[in-house]
Amino acid sequence: MSGLRMRTLAVAVVAGVGATLTIAVAPAEAAGTPHVRAGETVPVYSYENAVRESVWVQTTLDNDDDGVPDRVAVDIVRPREAADKRIKVPVVLEASPYYSCCGRGNESELKQYDANGTITKQPLFYDNYFVPRGYAFVAADLAGTNRSTGCEDVGGREEVLSAKAVVDWLNGRGRATYADGTPAVATRWTNGKTGMIGKSWDGSVANGVAATGVEGLETIVPISAISSWYDYQRYNGVLRAEDYPEYLHQAVSGRPESVCDATLKELDEGSDDATGNYNAYWAERDYRPDARKVHASVLIAHGLNDTNVTTAQFAQWWNRLRVPKKMWLAQQGHVDPFDIRRAQWVDTLHRWFDRYLQGLRNGIDREPAVSIETAPGTWVNERTWPASAARSVKVALGDGDGTTGTLGGRSGSGSRTWTDAPDLSEATAVAAPNTAVPGRVAFLSAPLSQPVRISGTPSVKLRVQVDKPTTELTARLVDYGTATRVNYVAAGEGITTLTTESCWGASTAADDACYRDTVENVITSDHAILTRGWQDAAHRVSLRFVTPLQPGRWYDVTVPMQATDQRLAAGHVLGLILQASDNEYSTPQSTGATIKLDLRGSSLTLPLVGRLPAPGATAPTVPAAPAATRLAPQKFQPLLP
């Protein structure tokens, strides 16, 4: 039960014994709004009888070059009784490319229509839950997808502005028509206050629209979302997959063949696989520099072990935002919090929208801003992120026994040399760190004398000589020690879907609000990858251009790792594993380079709460565990965000 509901119950009990209370009335409740009671929205409107309609919103663009402004297809479910009483309601908006190709949610739901083209089923529970509570739910097909015209440009201007056009229309600044061409006027039924929500690509659109500063967008809820498409498809100059933007476009496109050939060409040429450079194409798809334009409140949810939309996406966005914000960080991979902690998430989402779309002062903005899953099923609330107690700690790399190095103490005077082994798997690279493995080097801390926490973005500075003009460099932080952990590398990325269902809202025969229950997939493993990082050495100076290395010269190359928040138990050992190219999380452009690492000029930087123990002269022995207890990912394949 939420704190708000507990306080409401307490008021009722006290009032029942004759106490006299003065209760502050929320703005909407004071105005006699029927869907607001005791400071929260309640289900009073019929979902079955709701208005279901489709409109086409006109944009200012024409990237399919047919001489007609591109139009965005918008499917709406809104409370009929509110409209009949001339009560204007706010909007929950999800703009997505997935409504006809791939589906939404754990059960991959698609939009469905009747014979007349009227929407009968919207994916997910948002309309089922929120429409009876005095919200409209609006699902927009991004330009070039499903029933919209234009061409999907994968994070670009067309995509963002097509969704922005819907917000403008909801606020009376745009034009739309019904299928028969008659005008559709949103301001007859909505007050324009809009909240955008979505997981993955959908949440990325919400970030992009918020970064335009559009008026009327009051809040966004980006779940496992992208804030920089360069960082989604490149790792500091390292190619994630060849022809990735073109693949994404073709996966979601709803246009006839050849209509969008010009856009495909622009995606191919602009993304520039040949160099991996950050250029004007990627700058258009980077929302972070415009975080200062965001005036909407932001509720972020992300998996700390998300290897699809990696954690730099939330971390760099979160740190730039200067608006009311809140965040959930779970131990899963690319998973919606609805399938991790369902009841608590629905309650949080309900209260968040009530606060920022209905104007109800329910206190959610005064609660701890960050909720973090520290171990399977264990959550803590904190004031901010990264942890306020985290300090940047520089950790030296020691020579150890000449094979396995040490973490901490004085910088070692030795060196390490290895040759790129593009077929070296992560499982092999991190296993048995006390033995020599071709293509990787390992450094270990002493066993921890007390628990420590890594909260933020680690990095490793490597002083290297390379015998080729460039090489890819990969770094991993590993927690060596047996523990019960979320099995995020398995199918489901940390959850198991059950056969039972639970229902979250009202239903019709065509659109029920019931979804299969889930539980965390938990495994006992001997180690865990805490975070990973990649860097193309020729992009060490700038991501905008290549600066080749000269054989025989020493260079400093920093490998930034993905943001994380993980706790290591006493007795565990922290490991740093270095290799060159990585065939599981990228498409290696291996040069076959041999790398020499100067230990004295290299170091690991950790955002640390607590202390690492002083190292011994040699690294501790980490027992090799059976392969069955290791978390081993599969080779990378192009993914839909």
H runs (alpha helix) in 468-564: none
Which amino acid is present at 241?
A
pLDDT tens digits, one per residue of 407-436: 987 777 899 999 999 999 999 999 999 999
Six-digit token pair at 352? 């968040």
pLDDT for 42 equals 98
Question: Among 639, 519, 505, 499, which Cα is nearest to 122's?
Answer: 505
Q: Which residue has the higher pLDDT, 634 or 404?
A: 404
Strands (E), 275-410: 297-303, 325-330, 370-375, 378-382, 391-398, 404-407
Structural domains for the chain: 38-382 (3.40.50.1820), 391-484+524-629 (2.60.120.260)
Cα(309)–Cα(307) distance, integer angstroms: 6
Place of tokens 């008021």: 11
Mean pLDDT within 183-202: 98
pLDDT tens digits, one per residue of 535-566: 999 999 999 999 999 999 999 999 999 999 99
Distances (CA, A) of 389 to 132, 307, 382: 44, 27, 11
Taking only Cα atoms into account, the Rg of the chain, rounded to an integer number of angstroms, comes to 26
User: Residue 158 burial by CB count (10 A; 0-12/13-18/19+): exposed, middle or buried?
Assistant: buried
The answer for residues whose C-beta is within 8 angstroms of residue 394's C-beta and 6 or more apart is: 603, 604, 605
Mean pLDDT within 107-126: 95
Measured in Å, how far apart are the chain's first and last C-alpha atoms?
Answer: 33
The backbone region for 617, taken as left when phi is positive above 0, alpha when psi lies in -120 to 50, beta otherwise, is: alpha
Q: Please tell me the pTM assigned to this model.
A: 0.93
Cα(532)–Cα(576) distance, integer angstroms: 10
Distances (CA, A) of 510 to 51, 95, 106, 133: 14, 22, 18, 20
Percentages helix, strand, coil for the chain (3-state, rounded to 5) are 20, 30, 45
pLDDT tens digits, one per residue of 230-261: 999 999 999 999 999 999 999 999 999 899 99
| pLDDT averaged over every residue in the chain | 93
Active site residues: 200, 306, 334
Question: Among 470, 476, 460, which Cα is nearest to 420's?
Answer: 470
Question: Among 113, 99, 59, which Cα is nearest to 253's?
Answer: 99
The answer for residues whose C-beta is within 8 angstroms of residue 587's C-beta and 6 or more apart is: 239, 240, 241, 242, 636
| Residue 629 pLDDT > 60 | no
